[in-house]
Amino acid sequence: MLASGVPMEEEELQKAVVAYLRKKGFAKTEIALQEEQQNRLSSSSHPDLPLSRLENDPARYSGGYSKLRSWAYSSLDLYKHELLRVLYSVYIHCFMDLVAEGHMRDARTFFQTFREDHELTHLRDLQKLEGILSPSHLEEMELARSLRQNKVKIKICQYAYDLLLQYLQKTQSLTILGIINERINFEVSPGQPISISDDMEVVALVGSNHDQAKQINQKEVRWGLLEDSVEDRLERANSDSEKAEAENKELDPEDTKKRSVDGGKQAAPVKKPKKDKLVGATGKNVRSETSTAPVAPRVKPDLTLPIMPMEVEKAILEDLRNRVQLSSSALPSICFYTFINAHNGLNCSAISHDGSLVAGGFSDSSLKVWDMSKIGQSAKPGENDSIPSEHFLGTEGEGPYTLFHGHSGPIYSATFSPLGDFLLSSSSDSTIRLWSTNLNANLVCYKGHNYPVWDVQFSPVGHYFASSSHDRTARIWSMDRIQPLRIMAGHLSDVDCVQWHANCNYVATGSSDKTVRLWDVQSGECVRIFIGHRSTVLSLAMSPDGRFMASGDEDGTIMMWDLSSGRCISPLMGHSSCVWTLAFSREGSLLASGAADCTVKLWDVTTSMKGQKIEESKPSSINRLRLLKALPTKSTPVYTLQFSRRNLLFAAGALSKC
């Protein structure tokens, strides 16, 4: 932190401003001027404010901070929480500056003295920062680095901002003023302070650059469903037959006309994004149209999709016809698969889409697959309680499961292809393996990641799959190539979970950097950054209509995101521990969540979506999603949830004796 010529100028400027303000009080114009000054100062490429650094006394930090702290705590209640937010930023930067200047002992005492104030909201960050003990650690630790490189943006209301400036000038606490200038970008808003519940960003103020995130979130996301999907065809077939029944043959020409109009409507949103893309304009997009349209828009797939065999399609159509309509008053039946005698070794589980196959990945690098349809009739476990136990007693000599050996490290994730004929597993040996459940053999080993692969997910149409790893990347693969098709880099820490969008054009990833990102599969670019979680994101789910995404974190918070706006609709509080898994019901009205607190919770999502439509006119109103039911298990953490096509919910978990 050297004093050069340019900062000296700045210093004079600063002094002039201070003097000016002191003379004039705090009339609006002065404030505006001051604000501009502030912004100019802070956005200048010289972060150093030498006037505060001339004296190299470590005590000035703690002195200045404790003064600011006592002032902030005794300030007006209405503005206190905004000031406290500033206080936290000042606190961590004071600490890091102390470390950077080499006052290790003072830094430690300073940190410990005021730690309690911020533990409630920022415990995890504090735990990380606590480990910083030498200037070199500041460079090494990703959190500290990003904190020091990026400016924190804090929304603050006009009056609180005035109060803060007044205080800083009155007390001449130049150290603190320097830190605030250097590290914080104020976004002053006129009027009343923002309510506490609204300021989600405060939590994630660290780690990623907000401007960048904002810029990225400007990009367009075509969240519509794939055109000509099986569901689509069923709907069309139904409406056609209805029409045919309802109308006479006389009206035939009109009917066809109507249909052609329908077709035209449907085609329009498809064409538009294409055109947009060609032109490269980001302006008016589908969103404005779709928010009013009752049905989700259709989009063309960016990937070449595998062709579905006829008989499979028939089976799916049959399932769709027999689907149970779920709502807040019609809750699903839940079939629970309990892993017993897992000896704490079960790391992950997977359930095929029809619930007939259950896979378990173990820490001893084995992968076991149970065919539940062979063990009695899995669809009706209630009637066959006694039969499975007979099977397990093992009179046939061989286990009731198929054992897949091949990995050389704990298995962290497994996923079934939509048709249940393939199984993918990812392991700490940094490979992904493809297994055939028909041949009971390993087909391919995909090597590409350099570190443990935390998660792997088949796309909704099969053939493609996505993986996420400790190496901070997510990758897109196709089954027929051993090299990844796309590598998505951008997360600042491990990518812990990955999930496909319903239309296969996007992939969402959740990370230890507490953000969720949405990536375009075709271009490999990040199109959304969702900031708001307070801890590692562990699970993701996409709504079937493609509009919403749910993410669950380590603290038990679940967040619902609107993909098009990139905003959090509302946090779902209820779980007390890690949310391992999330699943939307097939028609999208319910969200099921499974957590380490041994419960399955069902949430009503329809209210939020309706609310969302109203909300668009009034964005500040918060409507909480409703918890419909909490179903406790018998000391069994819930690892996996899967809705079958007929809307039967399958859940799996390992019985843990505690």
CB of 413 to another protein, least distance (A): 8
Closer of 47 and 400 to another protein (Cβ): 400
Report the amino acid identity of residue 573: M
Distance CA 138, CA 124 (A): 17
For another protein, the closer CB: 162 or 471 = 471
Least separation in angstroms between residue 170's CB and another protein is 35
At its nearest, how many Å lie between another protein and the CB of residue 499? 16
Sign of the alpha-carbon torsion through 98, 102, 106, 110: positive
Closest CA to 269 of 246, 285, 249, 252: 285
Question: What is the rounded distance in angstroms from the CA atom of residue 436 to the CA atom of residue 198?
Answer: 48
**What is the closest distance, in whole angstroms, from the C-beta atom of residue 598 to another protein in the complex?**
7
In the complex, the smallest distance separating the C-beta of residue 389 from another protein, rounded to whole angstroms, is: 5
Give the nearer residue to another protein in terms of CB position, either 70 or 338.
Answer: 338
CB of 530 to another protein, least distance (A): 20
Neighbours of 209 (CB within 10 A): 16
- Gap between the Cα atoms of 402 and 369, Å rounded: 5
Of 60 and 629, the one with the shorter C-beta distance to another protein is 629
Q: Cβ 104 to another protein, closest distance in Å?
A: 6
Give CA–CA dist 330/77, Å, rounded: 45
User: Measured from the CB of residue 623, what is the shortest distance to another protein in angstroms?
Assistant: 23
The residue with tokens 């890690």 is 578
CA torsion angle for 176, 180, 181, 185 (degrees, to 10)?
A: -170
Q: Which is nearer to another protein, 179 or 578 (CB)?
A: 578
Largest CA distance in the chain: 94
> 3-state DSSP call for residue 78?
helix
d(CA 586, CA 336): 18
First to last CA, the chain: 55
Which of 17, 372 has the CB closer to another protein?
A: 372
Read out DSSP for 111-124? HHHHHHHHHHHHHH
- Output 73 or 392, the one with its CB closest to another protein: 392
| Smaller CB separation from another protein, 263 or 632 | 632
529, HSE (Cβ side, Cα atoms, 13 Å): 22
**Are 596 and 640 contacting, i.e. CB atoms less than 8 angstroms apart?**
no
Q: Strand pairing partners for 571?
A: 559
